[in-house]
Amino acid sequence: MIANAYELIVYILTLLGVYEPVLNIFQLLGIEYVLKIIIVLVEIGILFVFVLLTVMFLTWMERKVVAMVQARYGPMVTGPRGLLQPVMDGIKLIGKEDIVPAKADRWVFTLAPFIVFIPALLVFIPLPFGQSLIISDLRVGLLYIIAISAVSPIAILLAGWASNNKYSLMGAMRAVAQDISYTIPLALAAIAVVMFTGSLSTVDIVNAQNGTWFGVIPRWFIFLQPLGFILFLIASIAEMGRIPFDFQESESELVAGFFTEYSGMKFAMFFLAEYAHLFSVSGIIVMLFLGGWALPILPFVPAALVQLVSLGVFLVKTYAVIFFAMWLRDTVPRVRIDQLLNIGWKIMIPLALLNLLVTGFLITAGVF
Amino acid sequence: MNPAEELKQKLPAAVVSTGMQLNKPMAVIKKEELLNAAKKVKEMGFDHLSVITGTDYNDHFEVVYNFFSYEKKQNLVLKVITDHDNPEVDSLTSLWKGADWLERETYDLVGIKFTGHPNLIRILLPDGWVGHPLRKDYDMNTEQFVTMGEGGEDVVSTDGGNLLRRK
Amino acid sequence: METDELLINMGPVHPSTHGVLRFKLRMDGEIIKECTPVLGYLHRGTEKLGEMKTYLQFIPYTDRLDYVSAFPNNYVFVKAVEELAGIEVPLRAEYIRVITMELNRIVNHLVSIGSLLMDLGAATMIMWGFRERENALQLFEKLCGARMTFNYIKPGGVREDIPEGFIPQLNEFLKDMEKRIEDYEQLINSNEIFLMRMKNIGVISAQEAVNYGMTGPTLRGSGVDYDLRRYEPYSIYPDLDFKVCSRPEGDSYARYIVRIDEMKESLHILRQVVDTMPEGKIVSNPKYGIAPMTGTPSAVSTYFPRIFTPPAGEVYSRIEAPKGELGFYVVSDGTTKPYRVKIRSPSFCNLTAIPKMVVGLKIPDLIAAFGTIDVVLGDVDR
């Protein structure tokens, strides 16, 4: 059984007959660990490139979905169906002047985009893309994900504060208030899932959803935790900062919220982080409630193709969630900040606690 | 009954003459009695102050108030004539809040002062603008340059000294 | 809790002030304590220009006031001049005028609702609105060659007769529009978040609305059932059957609903006008010539006199424009140019009430309330 992507690479290299001779060379030199580091770097590189490509694709997809809803074409000129538009956007943003406002806190101002961007990538480490496609199966995977996600509001606060702009500051304040009030229901909804699996490991969570009831219904947690799923979905859309909860930006009120003063590559990093976040959060929703890469047909797939099929299953489910988020963005207006906090504290947290209570009761009673 | 005549009956001291502004009954009011007349007009049910117009007639100014009654569906026009040197009439802001901006606009563009207005400053043109454009003697040939000062205030000059000039 | 006050300059360059308007906001955290609108960034001296142009030369300038709905601007100035000079207008010309004005009302409300929803964060409505607006603009283009600034209505009639194919296209638009309005209502009206944002926001009572001189849908949204088309009729409105839409609540939602209802009424009016459209001349006074039924605009314009002198006098003429009561006060001294032109623009007067409406609310509420007031800065600053 291949546990993670490292072992998968080793397995593929062994199949190709390359691993043994190379390992021998390194063992001869007594620097076996260098090979390990190289392989780890390669897998991280693959993940990085994959995430960046996905993010670029998502920006294109977002524009196309919006265009579809709004009876337009969206980008059509650059490449087939405008598919190369994100590349052009990237080139344009690199070419832009990098403006730092005169009265901004220069050091913090420059640091903030990186602090937003790096956690957005780190979240992917314990996320299982396929049966063995995981960088590292952390034993505290879920805790790690929630903890890492909590870094981004700090970066947003840094950005808003350092810009020395009232709109930025208000956007940052809103982002923090929103994040605090929505991380709690998010975590509470996730804990209900953990109560079933008894493990924080992401692999265990997905494995627990592998299989079916009565041979028909997949054992996804969405069927055991419908309320938890809805709470988690709403809370994660708020975490992502997308309409109807896009308070950090809310462009019609705060111009562009916390990144009003950013331009060029720094702006691009916020932008990329936002879409990386969209992808990772959708992946987490799939992993927790929609069975991850698990699908009842997976046992019937030939062993050689299992990795690819499971990756495909995971991506299809993730894109379904992403599409939902984009669709939502086009149909609903933004709620007001106080209404948002009201929903968070007065409705979502009590409901999440209730969900936890009922789940615990039912598990103790042995219903599940 | 014609509301202008009715006003004349109620306030004979205030109304100079009555007539028609094309198809709308009009009463010319004494300058000092404007506020009284306006109060009476409001009592008569003219709740909508539609527009305030100031016109420069070279030797005098006319301030025209167009009223309308939602209840009676009637029009009434009040006209006040002021002298040209120091045009000043009473403000109606205490009776109609909508008069606030209309009076500020008339002050801004025609230069008629409204005594008792709580905030009689320019509304369309920047503070410090020279002259009132809708006066007939307004100097159209003098250019005025507007920029923003350090504190966000408007800076106006006629020689362009406040502009950033290219060498 | 005592907190520091925050001074925010919203505008003149801001995504949701619909142009170059500026709000000086004194804020306590997120709550507005005082709101002072600062105007004049788009002031072009239209009233002064009116004194310097002949009557006919000034008509194109009226297009540029409220550029979202320019036909009513055209019409009300021409109406003032016609009243001043006592010019009769042939019935067919009045029918054409009403078609243009009611179409323009629909266009205006589409833009208004679209930008309101965009400010609230739902960008779909403005795209849908602009899709239908495009159809209407194509109708305008067919009629007079221009899409936004028309210069179409002239003293004594209209510039050109309805071109061939216009009425079928209009009928198609009316049929399409009916379904579209249902779509809008499905998208917006039952949206819980939309209701949360709009209900009980920017409330103004009927009495206050009248006192502030608010007119149009903003006044009707406060429960004052008043429409100049009904109670001070002009053109052919007395012959038409339509409802005056009003809502008693006086909040942003009521103003929005009034606009949706008015679009439906406009469709109803347009259907009647199309059905009963008479044949005949499109310009009345034989002195001014009769424009040919077809022809290039330049050929047609020679039938209108370049110089036109109404008798001395003054007139205040007002109509129910899409945004409210639009009035032109024109003083003639018997020369070729107006002595004084005063424009009573609905946007300007409706905006007066904004500081009252938003005190104690939050910035997002200011945007919701401001969106339902529906101002165009060309109309505010003139």
pLDDT tens figures, C89-114: 888 888 888 889 889 999 999 998 98
Which pLDDT score, from 0 to 100, does residue C306 have? 62
CB contact under 8 A, B21 and C232: no
For tokens 């049910």, the residue is: B45
Q: Which of B47, B64, B109 sits opposite C47 (nearest CB)?
A: B109
Measured between CB atoms, does C233 come within 8 Å of chain A?
no
Q: Choose from A64, A166, A245, A253 for mutation: most chain C CBs within 10 A.
A: A253
Q: Averaged over C2-8, what is the pLDDT?
A: 77
C53 vs C289: which has the higher pLDDT: C53
Could you give the CA distance from residue C257 to residue C122 in angstroms, rounded to a whole number?
17
Q: Averaged over A178-200, what is the pLDDT?
A: 86
CB contact under 8 A, C211 and B47: yes
| Confidence tier at B165 by pLDDT (50, 70, 90) | low
Shortest distance between the Cα of C340 and any Cα of chain B, in A, equals 7
Which pLDDT score, from 0 to 100, does residue C295 have? 46
Q: Which of B51, B126, B134 sits opposite C48 (nearest CB)?
A: B134
Shortest distance between the Cα of C202 and any Cα of chain B, in A, equals 17
Shortest distance between the Cα of A35 and any Cα of chain C, in A, equals 51
Which residues, 6 or more positions from A125, have their beta carbon under 8 angstroms from its beta carbon?
A135, A136, A138, A144
* Contacts C211 to B, Cβ<8 Å: 47, 96-98
Measured between CB atoms, does C363 come within 8 Å of chain A?
yes
First to last CA, chain B: 70
Which pLDDT score, from 0 to 100, does residue C87 have? 77
| Confidence tier at A254 by pLDDT (50, 70, 90) | confident
Amino acid identity for residue B129 in this structure = W
Instruction: Select from C247, C237, C217 the least CA-distant residue to C101.
Output: C237
Q: Residue C291 pLDDT more than 70?
A: no
Q: Averaged over A208-225, what is the pLDDT?
A: 79
Pairing of strands B113-115, B88-90: parallel
Q: Residue C1 pLDDT more than 70?
A: no
CB contact under 8 A, C40 and B77: no
Q: Residue C300 pLDDT more than 50?
A: no
Which pLDDT score, from 0 to 100, does residue C121 have? 81
Q: Residue A243 pLDDT more than 80?
A: no
Contact call for residues C381 and C43 (beta carbons, < 8 A)? yes
Q: Residue C284 pLDDT more than 80?
A: no
Which pLDDT score, from 0 to 100, does residue B35 have? 84
Quick one: C67 exposed, middle or buried, by C-beta within 10 A (0-12, 13-18, 19+)? Answer: middle
Which pLDDT score, from 0 to 100, does residue C287 have? 54
Instruction: Select from C108, C76, C136, C94 the least CA-distant residue to C263.
Output: C108
CB contact under 8 A, C352 and B123: no
Rg (alpha carbons) of chain B, rounded to whole number = 19
Which pLDDT score, from 0 to 100, does residue C303 have? 55
- Complex ipTM: 0.84
Which pLDDT score, from 0 to 100, does residue C293 have? 43
Contact call for residues A202 and A127 (beta carbons, < 8 A)? yes
Which pLDDT score, from 0 to 100, does residue B119 have? 86
Q: Choose from C127, C130, C132, C361 for mutation: most chain A CBs within 10 A.
A: C127
Contact call for residues C191 and A330 (beta carbons, < 8 A)? no
| Collapsed DSSP state (helix, strand, coil) of residue B134 | coil
Which pLDDT score, from 0 to 100, does residue B99 have? 87
Quick one: A44 exposed, middle or buried, by C-beta within 10 A (0-12, 13-18, 19+)? Answer: middle
The C-alpha angle B45, B50, B51, rounded to 5 degrees, equals: 135
Which pLDDT score, from 0 to 100, does residue C290 have? 45
Which pLDDT score, from 0 to 100, does residue C285 have? 59
Contact call for residues B134 and C47 (beta carbons, < 8 A)? yes
Could you give the CA distance from residue A290 to residue A278 in angstroms, rounded to a whole number?
16
Token output for A343: 């929903």
Touching subunits of B (3+ CB pairs, under 8 Å) are: C
Q: Averaged over C329-334, what is the pLDDT?
A: 87
Q: Which of B22, B51, B124 sits opposite C83 (nearest CB)?
A: B22
Token output for C75: 């019409």
- Listed range (A149-158, A246-255, B48-57, C36-45) with the worst mean pLDDT: A246-255
CB contact under 8 A, C356 and B100: no
Token output for B95: 């009776």
Measured between CB atoms, does C248 come within 8 Å of chain B?
no
Contact call for residues A51 and A124 (beta carbons, < 8 A)? yes
Q: Which residues of C240-253 are buried (b: 16+ CB within 10 A; e: fewer)?
A: bebebbbbeebbbb
Q: Residue A158 pLDDT more than 80?
A: yes
Instruction: Select from C250, C119, C51 the least CA-distant residue to B138.
Output: C51
Half-sphere exposure of A7 (CA within 13 A, CB side): 11
Could you give the CA distance from residue C74 to residue C67 in angstroms, rounded to a whole number?
11
Quick one: A216 exposed, middle or buried, by C-beta within 10 A (0-12, 13-18, 19+)? Answer: exposed
For tokens 């945007």, the residue is: C367
Which helix (H) or strand (E) covers residue B17, if one does? strand B15-21
A214 vs A142: which has the higher pLDDT: A142
Instruction: Select from A71, A154, A60, A83 the least CA-distant residue to A112.
Output: A154
The C-alpha angle A304, A202, A3, rounded to 5 degrees, equals: 35
Shortest distance between the Cα of C176 and any Cα of chain A, in A, equals 15
CB contact under 8 A, B21 and C314: yes
Q: What average pLDDT does chain B have?
A: 83
Shortest distance between the Cα of C377 and any Cα of chain A, in A, equals 17
| Confidence tier at A140 by pLDDT (50, 70, 90) | confident
For tokens 């459209």, the residue is: C277
Q: Averaged over A312-330, what is the pLDDT?
A: 88
| Collapsed DSSP state (helix, strand, coil) of residue C5 | coil
Token output for C159: 């510039």
Q: What average pLDDT does chain C have?
A: 83
CB contact under 8 A, C327 and B125: no
pLDDT-above-70 percentage for chain A: 97
Q: Choose from C22, C52, C218, C316 for mutation: most chain B CBs within 10 A.
A: C316
Q: Averaged over B10-25, what is the pLDDT?
A: 78
| Collapsed DSSP state (helix, strand, coil) of residue C104 | helix
CB contact under 8 A, B22 and C327: no
Amino acid identity for residue C275 in this structure = D
Contact call for residues C116 and C368 (beta carbons, < 8 A)? yes
Q: Which residues of B57-90 are buried (b: 16+ CB within 10 A; e: fewer)?
A: eeeebbbbbbbbbbeeebbbbbbbbbeeeebebb
The C-alpha angle C11, A66, A246, rounded to 5 degrees, equals: 50
* Contacts B51 to C, Cβ<8 Å: 316, 327, 329, 342, 344
Q: Which residue of B has its CA nearest to C86?
A: B22
Which pLDDT score, from 0 to 100, does residue C298 have? 47
Q: Which of A166, A331, A338 sits opposite C8 (nearest CB)?
A: A166
Q: Residue B14 pLDDT more than 80?
A: no
> Structure pTM?
0.85
Residues of A with CB under 8 A from a CB of C: 66, 69-72, 166-167, 170, 243-244, 246, 250-255, 330-339
* Contacts B102 to C, Cβ<8 Å: 213, 349
pLDDT-above-90 percentage for chain A: 1
CB contact under 8 A, C9 and B55: no
* Contacts B96 to C, Cβ<8 Å: 211, 213
Q: Residue B166 pLDDT more than 70?
A: no
CB contact under 8 A, C356 and B47: no
Rg (alpha carbons) of chain A, rounded to whole number = 22
| Collapsed DSSP state (helix, strand, coil) of residue C365 | helix
| Confidence tier at C50 by pLDDT (50, 70, 90) | confident
Q: Which residue of B has its CA nearest to C85?
A: B22
Q: Averaged over B8-30, what is the pLDDT?
A: 79
Pairing of strands C157-158, C313-321: unpaired
Which pLDDT score, from 0 to 100, does residue A47 have? 85
Token output for C376: 């165009």
Quick one: B17 exposed, middle or buried, by C-beta within 10 A (0-12, 13-18, 19+)? Answer: exposed
Instruction: Select from C43, C12, C16 the least CA-distant residue to C374.
Output: C16
pLDDT digits (tens, 9 = 90+) for C57-80: 888 888 888 888 888 888 998 888
Q: Residue C299 pLDDT more than 50?
A: no
Q: Which residue of B has its CA nearest to C213?
A: B98
Q: Nearest 5°: phi and psi at A221?
A: -70, -15
Q: What is the 3-state secondary structure (H, E, C) of chain A?
A: CCCCHHHHHHHHHHHHCCHHHHHHHHHHHCCHHHHHHHHHHHHHHHHHHHHHHHHHHHHHHHHHHHHHHCCCCCCCCCCHHHCCHHHHHHHHHHHCCCCCCCCCCHHHHHHHHHHHHHHHHHCCCCCCCCCCCCCCCCCCHHHHHHHHHCHHHHHHHHHHHHHCCHHHHHHHHHHHHHHHHHHHHHHHHHHHHHHHHCCCCHHHHHHHCCCEECCCEECCHHHHCHHHHHHHHHHHHHHHCCCCCCCCCCHHHHCCHHHCCCCHHHHHHHHHHHHHHHHHHHHHHHHHHCCCCCCCCHHHCCHHHHHHHHHHHHHHHHHHHHHHHHHHHHHCCCCCHHHHHHHHHHHHHHHHHHHHHHHHHHHHHCCC
